[in-house]
Structure 1
Amino acid sequence: MYKRQHLSEEEHNRFIEDHPNGDLLQLTDWAASKKLTGWYFRRFAITDETSETRGAATLLFKKVPKLNATLCYISRGFVCDYHDHALVEAMLKEAVAIAKEEKAYTIKIDPDLPVARYEDALENLKVLGFRHHGFQDGMSKNTIQPRQTMVTDIAKDDASLLKSFERNNRTKVRSALRKGTEVYVASREDLPVFVDLMKETGERDGFLTRDITYFESMYDHLNPNGHMELFLVRLIPSNVEASVIEDLEKLDKDIEKAGKKKDGIKKDNELKGLAGRREKLENQLEEARRIKQAHPEGIILSGALLALSGHKAYYLYGASSNEYRDYLPNHHMQFVMMQYARDKGAKTYDFGGVSVMPEKDSPHFGLWQFKKVWGTEVSEKIGEFDFILRRPIYMAAEIGVPIFQKGKIRMNQLRKGKKE
């Protein structure tokens, strides 16, 4: 019924982008960008009896050190209709044939399929012989891609999009739009600026950052075909100055109006509040003029990499300066990137992995707080699966090595404790 089909890279990518279950991580552009970290790829597609393409997959392979074996990873799974169980079985058959040629010990998949709509697919994958890793937390280190991500529906006009945000976040976005920052699509030459911001962010938030070659590889493979853009946010002092002057003029009218009211406690309190706002604006004006004198061309405050694939957009990496955070550059940037992605045909905007409703003392609480205010909903995917091809190597690589690593970490902790 189904047979393998040869597609050009352009045809393969077009099928991925057009398919409802297509994903950025199935594009050949993405697979090519992984060569820097030791991966190589093969791909296939299959047709039905009418010669219509029904499914496609990009298979990533990585050699296992000291063993004549590879890991086969089909990131975000086969691109096909998972409700068609015969089709999924045919996709697996082709994947197994290629994986065996590459001496893979397992085929790992993690389809971007919501649990609520694909319970049948989950059970079918088990019937076909896949081992399910369970319903892992979105920030679990036991999976390659997060099972839970936060996704915003951006298929709406600007007013509706803004209205979908939580109230406090709407206020911040509106404020950010008029604070004097500019969001723009940057070029490859601006990647060093972004990497410097990433290092600053990593030091502030306590995480390791990537070398510039990693981001250059991603950009070089994804940008030419419109699958990635670098965004930067610049604070423009002259814009800030003009905005503050405008606010001062409006405030002076309010003060004049309040002064004409009858004397009383209410009037005094109102004038006191307005005077406090005026003092704050005067300080902002002085700051804008100092920045203008020191940095007449402005200062880059934030940056992000936005990826695009068909109807999906992805917020991949974000970074920001420690300075001038009151100008809310990230809020301005997120709104503009959503608008840009929507205008390019995206219907959803994926903020990436999250631990759902963590406790306040959890290290993931801040990330959850940030992502939940953008009109997002939790995308609960069916999880990660392994189709085991060489069980002894699988047991050693997937079970034995993690146990050994955890034991080693525990031993080091015990030794450290004894020394202390």
Structure 2
Amino acid sequence: MRAIRADEHLAYVRSLPSASFLQTPAWGRVKSEWTAESVGFYAGPVLVGAGLVLYRQLPGIRRSLAYLPEGPVLDWARADVPALLDGLAAHLRSRGAFGIRMGPAVVTRRWHAGTIKTAIADPTVHRLGDVTPDESCEVGAALVETLQRAGWRHQVVAGGFSAGQPRYNFVLPLAGRSEADVLAGMNQQWRRNIKKAAQAGVEVRVGDRDDMPQFHAAYVETARRDGFTPRPLAYFDTMYAALNTEQSDRLRLYLAHHDGELVAATTMVRVGEHAWYSYGASTTTKREVRGSNAIQWQMIRDAIAAQAGVYDLRGITDTLDEDDPHLGLIQFKVGTGGDAVEYVGEWDLPLSRALYGAFALYMRRR
């Protein structure tokens, strides 16, 4: 384990079918409030894994939390995973980290859309995690056991969201499927809304950096309506520039208009064979023209055209309770006909128990 150059890191990512965009060197430039480092995992002289480490220093001291969002990027089925993680801990300790937080993008369980629909209709079922999965993943289960044995601590908060990146996500498989196949797999409401948007004359186009203020205005409106704190425009400008400088067309900005008026705007990120719906916004007016469905369908079509194997609609909670306001988000995504997946989640390894304890107390009191 050692630090590697950004170009070495990027070359390793490009050698794979895909990796999380949060583990690309460019993401370190997006998260400017953190200090970024690329690290490499070696088996002898061979690079067998890489990671983007983000360091956040504690106020008043020279010690940091080391964070690897949706990383590191490894073959988690390797027999030497425990040794590689020990090497990671030693390296980050030498860099002054008091603790490590990581969230490997490794699936443990998967539920198909039909299973989720049945569970939502059952009043006795309240959590996705309580539903028998359609698939259980041995590599994910083995990694959880490895982390537990090594003293890593699982980080979970109410509702199924981890402390950083979501533990539950919704993905739409695209490999080997045509547009017609994907459309046929959607529920009737999704197909009807896509058709309605087309008949109403909703037009979706790919924008550029100059269009970012339009996106941001709709995003701020969405934040006000849904009750979350929006990121500033400068964050999205930086994200657009950093990701697209590293790889042309990595991040796309989409805008949906009706009669010249913006009704929805989104961003999509793609690394290799994996495409992500990253940020979305819609205006309060003209919701009846179904701009959100139209813009999602265009992103899915473009992901298929780019030969992506997965279109990732990102986080959901695990709630299936009809009284929970988050249920609507799951129902919207289930309508695409995809799968809910559970990842191993985020895990912490204290390197200084005293400092990590103080950090954990601070986080609980925020």
Q: Are the counterparts in 1 of residues 6 and 38 from structure 2 also a CA contact under 8 Å?
A: no
Give 2:86's aligned residue. Answer: 93
How many angstroms apart in 2 are the aligned matches of 1:15 and 1:176? 41
Give 1:129's aligned residue. Answer: 151
Q: Are the counterparts in 2 of residues 114 and 380 from structure 1 also a CA contact under 8 Å?
A: yes
TM-superposition CA deviations, 1:163-210 (whole Å, max 9, x none)? 111122112112223321211110101111111101111222222211
Q: Give structure 1 stretches of 5+ with no counterpart.
A: 238-297, 406-420
Q: Are the counterparts in 1 of residues 256 and 263 from structure 2 also a CA contact under 8 Å?
A: yes
User: Alignment partner of 1:85: what SS?
Assistant: coil
Alignment-mate amino acid for residue 347 of structure 2: F
Give 2:257's aligned residue. Answer: 234
How many angstroms apart in 2 are the aligned matches of 1:19 and 1:147? 23
What are the equivalent positions in structure 2 for 1:252-401 lying under 5 Å apart? 298-398=260-360, 400-401=361-362
* Pairwise CA distance, 1:381: 0.7
* Pairwise CA distance, 1:17: 4.4
User: Alignment partner of 2:165: what SS?
Assistant: coil
* Pairwise CA distance, 1:232: 0.5
How many angstroms apart in 1 are the aligned matches of 2:355 and 2:24? 29
Give 2:182's aligned residue. Answer: 161
How many angstroms apart in 1 are the aligned matches of 2:364 and 2:49? 37
* Pairwise CA distance, 1:379: 0.9
How many angstroms apart in 2 are the aligned matches of 1:150 and 1:230? 21
How many angstroms apart in 1 are the aligned matches of 2:61 and 2:13? 33
Give 1:48's aligned residue. Answer: 43
Q: Are the counterparts in 1 of residues 252 and 268 from structure 2 also a CA contact under 8 Å?
A: yes
How many angstroms apart in 1 are the aligned matches of 2:311 and 2:7? 24
Q: Are the counterparts in 2 of residues 138 and 354 from structure 1 also a CA contact under 8 Å?
A: no
Q: Percent identity?
A: 29
Give 1:108's aligned residue. Answer: 101
Q: Is 1:152 paired with 2:152?
A: no
How many angstroms apart in 1 are the aligned matches of 2:18 and 2:100? 19
Q: Are the counterparts in 1 of residues 3 and 37 from structure 2 also a CA contact under 8 Å?
A: no
Give 2:119's aligned residue. Answer: none
How many angstroms apart in 2 are the aligned matches of 1:76 and 1:24? 9
Give 1:216's aligned residue. Answer: 237
Q: Structure 1 404/176 Cα, relative in aligned 2: closer, same or farther at 3 Å?
A: closer
Q: Structure 1 180/219 Cα, relative in aligned 2: closer, same or farther at 3 Å?
A: same
Alignment-mate amino acid for residue 154 of structure 1: L
Structure (1/2) with the larger strand percentage: 2
How many angstroms apart in 1 are the aligned matches of 2:46 and 2:219? 45
Give 1:77's aligned residue. Answer: 71
1:31 is aligned, of 28, 31, 39, to 28
Give 1:413's aligned residue. Answer: none
Alignment-mate amino acid for residue 173 of structure 2: D
Q: Are the counterparts in 1 of residues 253 and 266 from structure 2 also a CA contact under 8 Å?
A: yes
Alignment-mate amino acid for residue 122 of structure 1: V
Q: Are the counterparts in 1 of residues 207 and 255 from structure 2 also a CA contact under 8 Å?
A: yes
* Pairwise CA distance, 1:137: 5.8
How many angstroms apart in 2 are the aligned matches of 1:165 and 1:40? 42
* Pairwise CA distance, 1:96: 2.1
TM-superposition CA deviations, 1:315-364 (whole Å, max 9, x none)? 11111112222211111110110111222232111111112343222131
* Pairwise CA distance, 1:366: 2.1
Q: Structure 1 139/195 Cα, relative in aligned 2: closer, same or farther at 3 Å?
A: farther
* Pairwise CA distance, 1:219: 0.9
How many angstroms apart in 1 are the aligned matches of 2:12 and 2:303? 19
Q: Give structure 2 stretches of 5+ with no counterpart.
A: 109-135
How many angstroms apart in 1 are the aligned matches of 2:64 and 2:307? 37
How many angstroms apart in 2 are the aligned matches of 1:368 and 1:213? 30
User: Alignment partner of 2:308: what SS?
Assistant: coil
Give 2:123's aligned residue. Answer: none
* Pairwise CA distance, 1:227: 1.9
How many angstroms apart in 2 are the aligned matches of 1:197 and 1:95? 41
Q: Are the counterparts in 2 of residues 21 and 81 from structure 1 also a CA contact under 8 Å?
A: no
Q: Are the counterparts in 1 of residues 21 and 27 from structure 2 also a CA contact under 8 Å?
A: yes
* Pairwise CA distance, 1:106: 0.6
User: Alignment partner of 2:65: what SS?
Assistant: strand
TM-superposition CA deviations, 1:42-101 (whole Å, max 9, x none)? 11223334x443111111101111222111001112211112131x23432332233123
Number of residue pairs matched?
A: 334
How many angstroms apart in 1 are the aligned matches of 2:146 and 2:17? 19
Q: Is 1:65 paired with 2:62?
A: no
Give 2:207's aligned residue. Answer: 186
Alignment-mate amino acid for residue 150 of structure 1: F
User: Alignment partner of 1:178: what SS?
Assistant: helix
- So what's the TM-score if we normalise by structure 1? 0.75
How many angstroms apart in 2 are the aligned matches of 1:107 and 1:33? 20
Q: Are the counterparts in 2 of residues 198 and 209 from structure 1 also a CA contact under 8 Å?
A: yes
User: Alignment partner of 2:73: what SS?
Assistant: coil
Q: Are the counterparts in 2 of residues 137 and 147 from structure 1 also a CA contact under 8 Å?
A: no
